[in-house]
Copies of this chain bind each other. A is one copy, B any other.
Amino acid sequence: MDATLVDGVVRAGHQARERFYDSSGYGRPVDDGEIELAPVEAAYLLYRGDLASVDGMGFQSLLGSAVVSEVDFFVYSDLRSRGFYLSPAWPDRVENAAGCDFVVYPRGKGPWDDDVAYRITVVSERETVPAGTLGECALAVVDEESEISYFRTARPDVSGTSQTTVPDTSGELLADRVVCWDPPAALYEQAFYGQPIDEQDPDAVQLSLVEAAYLADTGTLRVEDGADAVTERGRSVEGERFDRRLAVYETLREQGIAPKTGFKFGADFRTYAAIESVENLGHSERLVRVFDAGHAFEARDLALDVRLAHGVRKTMVYAFVGAVADGRDADIDWLVVERLTP
């Protein structure tokens, strides 16, 4: 069976409609009983041998032409081989086409149904991915050897039941942390602020600068020279990043989530949503990485974070922090990214 290419759309006759659209969900029926195929669909049909040619071109010629993006072809082909029907996100093919490349139907469903399994955005590993384009779609990243990694992206719920209030105490600012020499037991043992200097003798508790800045801001911690001295120290050792991290720390604590350092996982924080006491501490559920609003991901960095989080059974969450006034009241957008096996 042959087809023709007109203005970037492939056109095939009545027989194609029956064989490709009705029985297998390719293309879009048009008024005269024919179908229109996107070039990527036609390339796949050529590749399978179901179409003989498109304007005289075989698979090799069509893939080598500028009409079909090779990364689109690899993703289309992969999803078809996994048993899905899918449509290119063209306005005349699917609703809400903006912001994605393919709409994938649940297995057993097709373009004649209303259900959607995934809205897929296709990128090459070398492209950067603006964070603002994520949150609704699944990402298909085609690496340089044409292997495909899929990622689910969504907006997480950010709330928990971890305790945040403790009796007042005082601390001493050292170079890179604050030590409370005689803190209330609840500081560490119930609310999981800081770390004992000595696990055997939990009298003295050291706080990270971000913990200390939050506790000083909220009036729980007294430090010589006041809360601003802690924030200033944070900025001097970490720059603007300190304000972004403090804004995220504050929001998490106020939502009942306890953040601790995520350093061992290469993240800003690991978080606990339901701490009652350190004695009965479960595993942290999430890794949080903090970025400026407007951040664009390198696809490789995203793959690294998500793979590591998956390997330690945590969920990777990103926080994008807008303009920050004194580390407080910032607009924060949250994004969760997870491995997806379609």
Binding site for B on A (CB under 8 A): 47, 60, 63-64, 69-71, 124-126, 141, 143-147, 149, 172, 174-177, 179, 181, 194-195, 197-198, 206, 208-210, 237-238, 260-261, 263-267, 299-301, 303-305, 307-308, 311-312
Docked-complex contact A195 and B147, CB < 8 angstroms: yes
Q: Are A261 and B176 in contact (CB under 8 A)?
A: no
Q: Is the CB of B303 within 8 A of A263?
A: yes
Question: Closest Cβ of chain B: how far from A145's Cβ, in Å?
Answer: 5
Pick the contact of A147 from B198, B209, B263, B266 — CB < 8 Å? B263
B300 and A263: CB pair below 8 A?
yes
Task: Tell me the smallest distance from the CB of A326 to a CB of chain B, in Å.
Answer: 20
In the bound complex, do residue A266 and residue B301 qualify as a contact, i.e. CB atoms below 8 Å apart?
yes
CA distance A209 to B266 in the complex (A): 30
A177 to B143, CA, bound (A): 10
Given contacts A60-B181, A308-B307, A308-B311, contact A264 B195 (CB under 8 A): no
A70 touches B303 (CB 8 A): no
Instruction: Determine if A149 and B70 form an interchain contact, defined as CB atoms under 8 angstroms apart.
Output: no
Task: Report the separation of the CA atoms of residues A312 and B60 in the bound assembly, to the nearest whole angstrom.
Answer: 37
27 contacts between A and B (CB under 8 A): A60-B179, A60-B181, A63-B174, A63-B179, A64-B172, A64-B179, A70-B174, A71-B176, A143-B264, A144-B210, A145-B194, A145-B195, A145-B206, A145-B261, A145-B263, A146-B177, A146-B206, A263-B300, A263-B303, A265-B307, A266-B300, A266-B304, A266-B307, A304-B304, A304-B308, A307-B308, A311-B312
Distance from A24 Cβ to chain B, minimum over Cβ atoms (Å): 19
Chain B hits for A60, CB < 8 A: 172, 179, 181
How many monomers of this protein are in the complex?
A: 2
Contacts of A263 in B (CB 8 A): 125, 141, 143-145, 147, 149, 299-300, 303
Quick one: closest B residue to A266, CB to CB? B304
A201's nearest neighbour on chain B, judged by CB, is B47
| Bound-state Cα–Cα, A312 to B146, Å | 21
Cα distance A101–B145 when bound, in Å?
A: 44
Asked if residues A144 and B261 are in contact (CB atoms below 8 Å), the reply is: yes
Known A144-B208, A208-B145, A304-B304: A69·B175 in contact at CB below 8 Å: yes
**Closest 6 pairs (CB-CB, A-B):** A266-B304, A143-B263, A144-B208, A311-B311, A145-B261, A308-B308
Q: Which residues of B contact A308 (CB under 8 A)?
A: 266, 304, 307-308, 311
**Inter-chain contacts of A267 with B (CB < 8 A):** 300, 304
Q: Quick one: closest B residue to A196, CB to CB? A: B146
Alpha-carbon separation in the docked complex, A195 to B148 (Å): 13
Query: What is the minimal beta-carbon distance from A46 to any residue of chain B, in angstroms?
Result: 13
Q: How far is the CA of A303 from the CA of B206 in the complex (A)?
A: 22
Measured CB to CB, the closest approach of chain B to A269, in angstroms, equals: 10
By a CB distance below 8 angstroms, the chain B residues around A179 are 60, 63-64
Give the distance to chain B from A315, nearest Cβ to Cβ, in Å: 16
Residue on B nearest A207 in the bound complex, by CB = B145
Shortest Cβ distance from residue A12 to the other chain B in the assembled complex, whole angstroms? 23
A69 to B177, CA, bound (A): 12
- Max chain B Cβ within 10 angstroms of own Cβ: one of A63, A265, A266, A267: A266
**Additional A-B contacts beyond A144-B261, A265-B304 (6; CB < 8 A):** A63-B179, A125-B261, A126-B238, A145-B260, A145-B261, A146-B206
